[in-house]
């Protein structure tokens, strides 16, 4: 038992575990409260808020993956929205096939295929009739794509702003591809009108609460996995690559292998987040590929604090919470507010919100 405790303390300092435990407890309060109250109770959390917080949790998973890549390895990817969207499309395809003849056109084919006068299901759709295949594909497809893309980029020693630019071009090209009806993935309308997930109705409050709870658990698992990488020997090499890649190479390490590992691993995590995101929001379309989404992912990490996995989670909640409020109250002003926020973070507290919290603790 003492060995387990020592390992946990190695993964995260004592103060960090207090913050992590508090955050996990707060996240789990919603299913606990809703399980103990009735829908007409003042304490009962409405379904729309459960879905909204579930969406924020999915974004927090992406922020942890981005922080591992950018904060600890120094690789700024502006194309991780591709991996998130691919995971979402993998789950969306399963959800579309689950509709069956309950769709608008009462056909076994998805509604958009009937509308486009398709006669049979494309070959690449058929395996997604299985929930297991959809879950595996949501992580496997982004992982393989990231591995191939990263292998070509890192072997060519593309880094810094040049890598950010080509990842931005990568996500824009993917967006254009998925907008085409010929791709067989719903064109600009994407995939929507989902009915059930693994036999459970997505309209039921219990299903929404279950998805939220699974997302909380998923975030905890992803956080611990990334933290394990960070405190391992590989994590120390990643930080060395971030600070001085050439010196790391001269010391006998191969930066390409380490960068390829962390880039692929973060892509798998983003695909996992996308698979959790789609059944909670009820739609996936090519707008998820747009470059601005990938830029926002980097902003979450910058605002929360690079090099602090908890900071990434905090940044995802702060930015997306502000976005949800401002896009209703002041929709025209949101992009300006986001820009000001990013500039303020860069100029006045480059360590992000988490650095301000740590500074206050140190002063106390």
Asked if residue 3 has pLDDT above 60, the reply is: no
Confidence of residue 41 (pLDDT cuts 50, 70, 90): confident
CA gap 243, 36 in Å, rounded: 50
Note the pTM of the prediction, 2 decimals.
0.92
CA gap 354, 314 in Å, rounded: 8
Give the least confident one: 57-61, 69-73, 216-220, 325-329: 325-329
The pLDDT tens digits for 317-356 are 999 999 999 988 888 888 888 888 888 888 888 888 877 7
Domain for residue 219, yes or no? yes
Domain for residue 3, yes or no? no
Find the domain containing 95 and state its range: 15-363
CA gap 198, 248 in Å, rounded: 48
Confidence of residue 267 (pLDDT cuts 50, 70, 90): very high
Confidence of residue 8 (pLDDT cuts 50, 70, 90): very low
Give the least confident one: 70-79, 93-102, 141-150, 211-220: 93-102
Confidence of residue 1 (pLDDT cuts 50, 70, 90): very low
CA gap 110, 134 in Å, rounded: 16
Q: What pLDDT is recorded for position 5? A: 46
Domain for residue 4, yes or no? no
Per DSSP, the chain holds a count of helices (H) and strands (E) of 15, 4
CA gap 42, 221 in Å, rounded: 32
Specify which residues 197 forms β-bridges with. 200
Domain for residue 315, yes or no? yes
DSSP label of 200: E
Q: What is the mean pLDDT of residues 166-172?
A: 95
Domain for residue 5, yes or no? no
Give the least confident one: 82-91, 196-205, 341-350: 341-350
- Rounded to the nearest integer, the mean pLDDT of the chain is 89
Domain for residue 6, yes or no? no
The pLDDT tens digits for 270-291 are 999 999 999 999 999 999 999 9
Domain for residue 144, yes or no? yes
CA gap 85, 219 in Å, rounded: 18
Domain for residue 1, yes or no? no
- Give the number of domains in the chain: 1
């Amino acid at each position: 038992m003492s060995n387990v405790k020592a390992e946990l303390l190695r993964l995260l300092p004592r103060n960090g575990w207090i913050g992590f435990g508090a955050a996990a407890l707060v996240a789990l309060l919603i299913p606990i409260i809703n399980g103990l109250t009735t829908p007409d109770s003042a304490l009962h959390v409405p379904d729309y808020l459960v879905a909204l917080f579930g969406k924020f949790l999915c974004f927090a998973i992406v922020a942890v993956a981005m922080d591992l890549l950018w904060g600890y390895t120094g690789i700024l990817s502006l194309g991780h929205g591709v991996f998130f969207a691919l995971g979402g499309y993998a789950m969306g395809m399963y959800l579309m096939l689950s509709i069956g003849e309950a769709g608008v056109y009462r056909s076994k084919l998805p509604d958009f295929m009937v509308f486009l006068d398709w006669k049979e299901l494309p070959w690449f759709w058929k395996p997604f009739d299985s929930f297991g295949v959809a879950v595996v594909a949501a992580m496997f497809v982004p992982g393989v794509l990231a591995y191939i893309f990263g292998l070509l980029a890192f072997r060519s020693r593309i880094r810094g702003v040049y890598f950010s630019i080509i990842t931005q071009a990568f996500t824009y090209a993917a967006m254009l591809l998925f907008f085409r009806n010929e791709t067989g993935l719903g064109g600009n309308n994407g995939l929507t009108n989902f009915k059930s997930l693994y036999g459970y109705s997505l309209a039921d409050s219990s299903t929404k609460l279950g998805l939220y709870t699974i997302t909380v658990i998923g975030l905890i698992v992803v956080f611990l996995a990334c933290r394990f990488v960070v405190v391992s020997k590989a994590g120390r090499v990643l930080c060395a690559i971030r600070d001085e890649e050439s010196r790391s190479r001269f010391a006998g390490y191969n930066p390409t292998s380490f960068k390829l590992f962390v880039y692929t691993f973060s892509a798998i995590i983003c695909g996992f987040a996308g698979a959790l995101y789609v059944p909670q929001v009820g739609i996936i379309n090519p707008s998820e590929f747009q470059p601005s989404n990938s830029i926002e992912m980097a902003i979450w990490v910058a605002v929360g604090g690079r090099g602090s996995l908890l900071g990434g989670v905090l940044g995802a909640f702060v930015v997306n919470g502000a976005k949800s409020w401002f896009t209703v109250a002041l929709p025209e002003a949101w992009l300006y507010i986001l820009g000001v926020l990013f500039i303020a973070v860069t100029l006045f507290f480059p360590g992000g919100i988490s650095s301000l919290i740590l500074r206050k603790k140190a002063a106390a």
